[in-house]
Each structure stands twice: as structure tokens, then as C-alpha cells.
Amino acid sequence: METLCITGGQPLHGTLAVQGSKNAVLPLLAAAAAVPGRSVLLGCPSIRDLRVSCALLEGLGLSCRAAGDTLFLDAAAPPRTDPDPALAGQLRSSVLLLGALLGRCGQAEIPLPGGCVLGARPLDLHLKGLEALGVEVRREDCLLRCRGRPRAGTVRLPYPSVGATENLMLAALGASGPVRICGAAREPEIRDLAAFLNACGARVTGAGSACVRITPAPLHGAVHRVLPDRMEAATWLCAVAAAGGTLRLTGLCPAQLEPVLRTLEQAGCELTREPAALSLRAGALQAPEPVVTGPYPAFPTDAQAPMMAALLRAQGRTLFSETVFEDRFRHVPALRAMGAQIELSGRRAVVHGTAKLHGAEMAATDLRGAAAMVCAALGAEGESRITQAWHLDRGYADFAARLRALGAEVRVEA
């Protein structure tokens, strides 16, 4: 997908099933490299990042075969420990191979990872955590060289980094004894990774709390269903809030989205929660309480940009504070081009609701920023053109087709 053309101003209506989580499946793929044997992942999303991850694993000697939304992985043979730099450079999650390969092979040579450019995203927490477990870490230009089996011990993270928590969990699979991660991230994706590792024979306790304990044990392959994608669900909710209409989402856990749902309700949307489904009816929007991103269970940074787009026409003034990434307002110039009134100062943005938005030409710069441009375009009058729309393919399966299923007027230009 190169350019997405959207004619806005039409309410959306329909039902969508939520895909498997991008932020959950990528750590699971890295984990597969650490587990000798065959594993099956059910409910995988058909997204670009997953395909790149599979190519990265195949370059290490693993077998990856997709059949629909099921992925068959075979890591019976010991993997190579030097991932392809060209592929690793496309994914932030490629850094998780550091922990996976250390845990299984006791060494790894990892190119610096890629992914969305969102400001400084240092790996210091990952590397200092590994060093605390006795791993030798060396930086050489754009390469990380790590040697040594992790030892038993405790790692204290000064910030609940999701990636560092996942990397340390994977490295601990091959440690000389129990490893405790204190100050761990508490996101649902951490619990999902722990569930897969436990199904593979590991002994992981405390996932979802601030202290995770991993006790090494013999590992084998397992069958696991990927967690539903709460960020995809948030995007669809914001799209309908922006355009107006009704939406029913199935196959998700509403409780994992509570900060997003609370903001939408404060803004005037009517929500109905069920155990594994959620319905939204958009209303006349008004400014909600300030949106402040943070580690789970706070408002997720991945939902900040779509939520801002949803509230561009909300009556009043909405304050956004971004505490996770320093450059996560890169979508603001595109929204302003559509007539949005946004004041920007560092990590704070103030949206002054405007009665009308108009179509514009925009260039996507990252995954969630591209989603924000789509949400805004759906609520604008006239046609919008979003170039570099391939960013959407990184995290959303069949995005244009699913929009059309809700009644949106969308076309794709190569």
C-alpha cells in the first residue's frame, strides 16, 4: 500500500473481529528461537512486521510456515546467532533476539534494531540488565556482541520497559538459576509471553506484576493463541468516534483497554462492554479529561495519536501529555493541514476543537501516526490522500478492506 485515498464525512457502521496482537506476536516469534522444538501460534495477524520477523528467523535456520492465521515454527536445530542486518534494521523487536539467542546459545551478534522513529529509544535498560546477569556486552559500530550464559540473580529496572522485560525473560531461560526482574513492565503482552513460555516448559511467575521470576527448566515446543490486539481495537474505536456511527468489536478483552474506553466515554461516546466484545455508538464529542500516556495500566502511548485525531472536532480543549516517547507528535503537522487547531510544546499538545476539518495530502511517518491521519480523514469533508501508507501494513491486516466493510469510501493507489 503506497497511497490511501479517503473521502470523509460519512458515518461508519458494522462489526469487526480484532486481529492477533502485533505487540504480542513479535516477542513470541523471538521466543521461538529460544525454544528447541516445534511450536504453533494461532491467531497471527497478517502484517508486514510478522513477515519480516519470519524472514529474520529463517535466516537463522528456523522453519516458519503460515497457513491462514496459523504459524508453524520449527527450531529443533540450534540457530545461527548473527541475524541479517538488513532485516533486523526494519524491526524494533529484532532486539529481542538478543535475549533469545543468549538464553539458548550463550552468544549473540545483533545489529541495532529499526522500526518507527519516535525519538530516543535507548537500549541501555536491556544491556545493563544483561550485564547484571553476568553477560559480556560490547558495542561495535552498529553491532551488539554479547557473550556468556546469564547467571542467577536479580535485575532491577529503573523504568518498566516492555522490551527490556521481554529480553531479560528470554535470556533468563538459559540462566544458571532463578532470575528475578524487579520493576518489570506489566502490559498484557508480558503475560502473553509468559503463558507461551510456561506452555513450553518454563517456570515463569509474577507476569503482569512488578516482579517477574523465571526459573530455568527443560524447554519444548507448544501451541499458543496470540493475544487480541488492543491497539488495533483502539484504532477502530477512534475511527468511528471521529467519523460518527456505530461499531461492534469481537474477540477482545475490554478490560485491557479501560483507559481508552474511559476517555471515549468522557468525550460523549456510548460504550457497551461484554466479556469478549465491545460496542460503541458515537455521539456529539466534547473534550475529555487530560490524556496522559504511561506504562500499563495508564493510557497507552500507541493509542495517543488515533485518540488525538478522534478528538479534533470535540467541543472544548483537550490536553495530551506524552511521557513514553519524546517524538510521538510527528502526526501533528498532518492534522493541522486538515484544519485542526493544535498547540504543541515539547511533550504536551493542546487540541482546540474545531467545527470542521477538510481533506488534505499527508505523508505518513510511522505506524500509529498513519492511523491517526486515517481517523482524521474519516471525519473530514472531502478527499484526503495519505502517502507512504505502507506504514499501516506494519501493524494492521487488510486495513483498506476492513475500512470499506464499515462503509468508508477508500481506495488504494500503488
Positions annotated as catalytic residues are: 116
175 phi/psi in degrees, rounded to 5: -75, 165
The span from the CA of 30 to the CA of 213, in Å, is 19
The span from the CA of 2 to the CA of 183, in Å, is 41
* Neighbour count for residue 262 (Cβ, 10 Å): 14
Q: Answer for the pair 225, 24: CB distance below 8 angstroms, yes or no.
A: no
Long-range Cβ pairs for the range 112-116 (8 Å, 24+): 112/88, 112/142, 112/143, 112/144, 113/88, 113/89, 114/88, 114/89, 114/90, 115/90, 115/91, 116/92, 116/366, 116/367, 116/368, 116/391
